[in-house]
């Protein structure tokens, strides 16, 4: 069977995702669709608006056959690590293709950019170091280095967020010598950061989340009816949704009870930041306020949000040390599947080298501990007994079985 791999967050699943899904199937002639999805915390370092279980339902309802979780250790990372973890899982699941959305829409430009940087590796790295020394953030340094290096060639605009991710998918495939063939589809309208509805059926996830928190009926115009159905239970119950502000008291408590030394053990807390964090937490009255206080030119907003996520989940450098050795996932955790997905999995099961986890109790791994801790933290904002019930769910829930609609 021809399996198509997608790398997704579905926060929540909307018409743009549906467009990408159906176009990708057409483009790759796929028989089956596998999505590797971030769990409860996302690449930009924020909690997903609803749980991975609800987002899995949306995905399968809308046509995905198999949803597996990208471990926390890869999901809450810069593009490179995020891509490495995701690609390794899709490769292990024997996907023949990976199709990503991009601003460019031209796969040859990604392949070319990858080739180009392999051939100019040394010069590229020197340029990155040069730009970092000027005090800009790491992503900006990458973009500037690539721009000056490829000046005149017009290979690929790496200042655009989906082009960057796509570039890293292609690079990961190359580095891991994966058999997956990369495809890309031009993203249709709605920029990643758009906050307002701009087209009649497609809107950014950001604007959709904003509308959900404002409890606007308009949302139904921008998401499949399956998403509406799943989101229905949150109507007028916004305290069951998730956003950073709901976690601020836990973040503040966490930081207030840690010494600067303790802070330095946390992943992504670089020398100097511990001081800045400790100094600004006392007076910060909200997450937004705190972020604005610690923001500098040197660190992107996203980078600092990821750091806050690690502070919230108490993820230490030592706990993350696995990925210093290997940037491929050590297991595959199933979140949900259709019967077609189940059939595919059965057919390839014996050839998969990674352990496949249906139930948490059956497998142990330091990175899985992080997933469990992240899930526990994610549910910590609810009152009892709901909180305890959701904590049990994480252990007790078998992969969701649903049919595509």
Q: How far is the CB of 167 from its own copies (least distance, A)?
A: 34
* Helix 138-149 × helix 107-119 angle, to 10°: 90
Out of 360, 380, 397, 404, the only residue in the binding site for its own copies (CB under 8 A) is 380
Give the binding range for its own copies (CB under 8 A) out of 89-97, 123-131, 199-207, 384-392.
384-392
Looking at residue 153, what DSSP letter applies? T
CB 65 within 8 A of CB 1: no
Spatial CA neighbour of 53 closest among 404, 390, 403, 405: 390
> Does 122 participate in binding its own copies (rule CB under 8 A)?
no
Confirm or deny that 20 is annotated as ligand binding.
yes
| Residue carrying structure tokens 């031009």 | 186
Q: How far is the CB of 211 from its own copies (least distance, A)?
A: 26
> Does 40 participate in binding its own copies (rule CB under 8 A)?
no
Out of 122, 177, 217, 285, the only residue in the binding site for its own copies (CB under 8 A) is 285
Q: How many whole angstroms separate alpha carbon 300 and alpha carbon 243?
A: 19
CB 262 within 8 A of CB 301: no
CB 204 within 8 A of CB 194: yes
Give the binding range for its own copies (CB under 8 A) out of 107-115, 169-177, 256-264, 295-303.
256-264
Considering the complex, state which of residue 353 and residue 384 has its C-beta at the smaller distance from its own copies.
Answer: 384
Q: How many whole angstroms separate alpha carbon 102 and alpha carbon 113?
A: 14
Considering the complex, state which of residue 215 and residue 286 has its C-beta at the smaller distance from its own copies.
Answer: 286
> Does 369 participate in binding its own copies (rule CB under 8 A)?
yes
> Does 396 participate in binding its own copies (rule CB under 8 A)?
no
Looking at residue 71, what DSSP letter applies? P
Out of 252, 293, 295, 340, the only residue in the binding site for its own copies (CB under 8 A) is 252
CA 28 to chain centre: 23
> Does 361 participate in binding its own copies (rule CB under 8 A)?
no
Confirm or deny that 162 is annotated as ligand binding.
yes
Considering the complex, state which of residue 152 and residue 385 has its C-beta at the smaller distance from its own copies.
Answer: 385
Torsion of CA 335, 16, 291, 239, to 10 degrees: -60
Tell which phi-psi region holds residue 135, choosing left (phi > 0), alpha (psi between -120 and 50) or beta.
Answer: left
The values of phi and psi at residue 282, to 5°, are -50, -50
> Does 314 participate in binding its own copies (rule CB under 8 A)?
yes
Binding residues: 7-20, 101, 162, 187
Binding residues for ATP: 7-20, 101, 162, 187
Which residues are at the interface with its own copies (CB under 8 A)? Answer: 248-250, 252-254, 256-259, 282-286, 313-314, 369, 373, 376-377, 380, 384-385, 387-388, 391-392
């Amino acid at each position: 069977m021809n399996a198509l791999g997608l790398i997704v967050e579905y926060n929540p699943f909307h018409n743009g995702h549906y467009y990408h899904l159906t176009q990708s199937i057409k483009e790759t002639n796929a028989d089956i669709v596998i999505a590797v999805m971030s769990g409860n915390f996302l690449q930009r370092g924020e909690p997903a608006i609803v749980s991975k279980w609800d987002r899995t339902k949306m995905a399968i309802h809308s046509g995905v056959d198999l949803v597996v979780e990208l471990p926390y250790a890869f999901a809450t990372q810069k593009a490179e690590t995020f891509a490495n973890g995701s690609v390794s899982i899709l490769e292990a699941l024997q996907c023949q293709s990976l199709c990503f959305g991009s601003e460019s829409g031209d796969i040859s430009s990604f392949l070319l950019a990858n080739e180009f940087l392999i051939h100019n590796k040394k010069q590229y790295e020197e340029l990155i170091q040069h730009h970092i020394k000027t005090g800009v953030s790491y992503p900006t340094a990458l973009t500037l280095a690539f721009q000056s290096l490829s000046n005149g060639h017009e290979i690929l605009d790496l200042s655009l967020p989906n082009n960057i991710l796509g570039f890293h998918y292609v690079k990961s495939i190359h580095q891991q010598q994966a058999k997956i063939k990369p495809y890309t589809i031009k993203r249709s309208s709605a920029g990643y950061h758009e906050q307002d509805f701009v087209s009649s059926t497609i809107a950014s996830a950001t604007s959709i989340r904003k509308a959900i928190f404002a409890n606007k009926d308009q949302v139904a115009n921008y998401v499949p009816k399956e998403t509406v159905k799943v989101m229905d239970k949150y109507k007028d119950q916004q305290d069951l949704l998730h956003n950073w502000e709901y976690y601020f008291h836990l973040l503040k408590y966490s930081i207030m009870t840690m010494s600067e030394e303790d802070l330095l053990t946390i992943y992504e807390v670089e020398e100097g930041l511990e001081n800045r964090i400790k100094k600004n937490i006392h007076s910060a009255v909200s997450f937004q306020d705190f972020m604005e206080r610690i923001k500098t030119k040197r660190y992107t907003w996203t980078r600092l949000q990821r750091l806050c996520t690690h502070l919230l989940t108490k993820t230490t450098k030592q706990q993350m040390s696995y990925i210093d050795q290997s940037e491929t996932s050590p297991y595959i955790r199933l979140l949900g599947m259709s019967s077609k997905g189940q059939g595919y999995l059965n057919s390839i099961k014996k050839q998969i080298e990674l352990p496949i986890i249906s139930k948490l109790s059956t497998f142990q791994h330091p990175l899985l501990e992080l997933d469990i801790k992240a899930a526990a933290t994610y549910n910590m904002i609810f009152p009892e007994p709901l909180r305890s019930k959701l904590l049990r769910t994480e252990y007790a829930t078998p992969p969701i079985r649903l049919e595509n609609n």
